[in-house]
Amino acid sequence: MATTTVTTTETERAFIPIKAESLPPVLTFEADADPADVIKALKISGGCRVKAAVDKDILCQVERELRPHIEADVVWEGDFFPIQTRRVEGMIGKSPICAEHIINHPLYQAVCKEFLTTKNWYWSGQKKIFATSDPQLNNSICFSIGPGAWDQPLHRDSWCHQTNEQEVAVYPDNYDRDVGIGWFIAGKPATRENGATRFIPGSHLWSKDRPPQEELAVHAELEPGDAFMMLSSCYHGGSANKTTDQERLLFSCFMTKGWLRQEENQYLAIPRDVVLKMPVHIQQLMGYKLSQPFCGWVESDDPRVVLDPSLKDDPSGHYDEDEDKH
């Protein structure tokens, strides 16, 4: 992966440092919380916790499905992930239970729908056409972080989509600022000692030019089944596992806008024979669905035709041009 690293510039150093006491609070919600309350909290802080988002028995089943893949992983080349970190990428295709109960979690998906849905309109002759592009899966990864792992550098996951954030005091109402939302479920206790994700509350409002301040980071400590939800414009990173015998197990995913390229290419990452066994709503979540008005087509048809040829030329795969979708 070819990237260029440069040092902090004089302009970037000119930013007035932010004091920890000025950071917004990080709220904690129950799994049945009103999505509107979670959305409000994310606008203010950029991240929040959700208690008991996933049942313990579900976690055990997901771990059983993924453990062989964890053990088979190889060491990451480079220093972005510690050598003690093992990953299971394309997690949605390796654990059907994870796909349904973690990635498709109702609270998470409701929040993603609000932040990441794009609604627009355009002229087709004299007809005004409204179109809605729904969110899609950006990536799904299981992380196993062992003793001795070091701090991951603080970063924004939005960088994959070439974002150019400007400094703002208040989160904009149009939701154009963010390209993704992350969802991290603890499979085992996540503590400051074993490497809980650290992030900077309020950093989703920062300019791209403002470098992260490590001293502002807080740890998203979680019990098994708890979740941490975060906007992709937040500075965050995995932390050092300072224990001698604890694994930090994390099931994570990001959703993104339906018209953006996926960070993890779902069409290649998940074999077709695996996708064919998935429920339709999970296939569509992965991107096997038109992004209105007509993005992602295959042979001028809904992309699900590659999974089910009987859908060819089925009008139900398209939106109704006469329907006003405000």
Lowest mean pLDDT among 1-10, 177-186, 191-200, 263-272: 1-10
Structural domains in the chain plus CATH codes: 15-268 (2.60.120.620)
75-243-187-52 Cα dihedral, nearest 10 degrees: -150
Residue predicted with more confidence, 310 or 10:
310
Instruction: Provide CB contacts within 8 A for 60, sequence distance 6+.
Output: none
pLDDT exceeds cutoff 50 at 323: no
Residue predicted with more confidence, 189 or 325:
189
Average pLDDT, the chain: 92
94-191-235-170 Cα dihedral, nearest 10 degrees: 110
Number of other residues whose CB lies within 10 A of the CB of residue 297 = 14
d(CA 261, CA 237): 23
pLDDT exceeds cutoff 80 at 298: yes
pLDDT exceeds cutoff 80 at 5: no
d(CA 116, CA 275): 24
Instruction: Provide CB contacts within 8 A for 126, sequence distance 6+.
Output: none
Angle of CA points 294, 298, 301, to nearest 5°: 60
Q: Find the mean pLDDT for residues 165-183.
A: 95
pLDDT exceeds cutoff 50 at 322: no
- Phi, psi of 247, rounded to the nearest 5 degrees: -95, 130
d(CA 122, CA 130): 7
pLDDT of residue 85: 84
pLDDT exceeds cutoff 50 at 144: yes
pLDDT exceeds cutoff 50 at 245: yes
Lowest mean pLDDT among 198-207, 209-218, 299-308: 299-308
pLDDT exceeds cutoff 50 at 324: no
pLDDT of residue 318: 46
Number of other residues whose CB lies within 10 A of the CB of residue 109 = 17
For 16-73, how does the pLDDT look when each residue is reduced to its tens digit (9 = 90+)?
889 999 999 999 999 999 999 999 999 999 999 999 999 999 999 999 999 999 999 7
pLDDT of residue 103: 99
Cα dist from 45 to 48, 168, 222, 256, 284, whole Å: 8, 13, 18, 19, 30
d(CA 21, CA 125): 56
pLDDT of residue 311: 84
> For a pLDDT cut of 90, what percent of the chain falls above it?
83
Confidence of residue 15 (pLDDT cuts 50, 70, 90): confident
Confidence of residue 79 (pLDDT cuts 50, 70, 90): low
pLDDT exceeds cutoff 60 at 12: no
- Phi, psi of 183, rounded to the nearest 5 degrees: -140, 115
Instruction: Provide CB contacts within 8 A for 249, sequence distance 6+.
Output: 63, 142, 143, 144, 145, 186, 187, 188
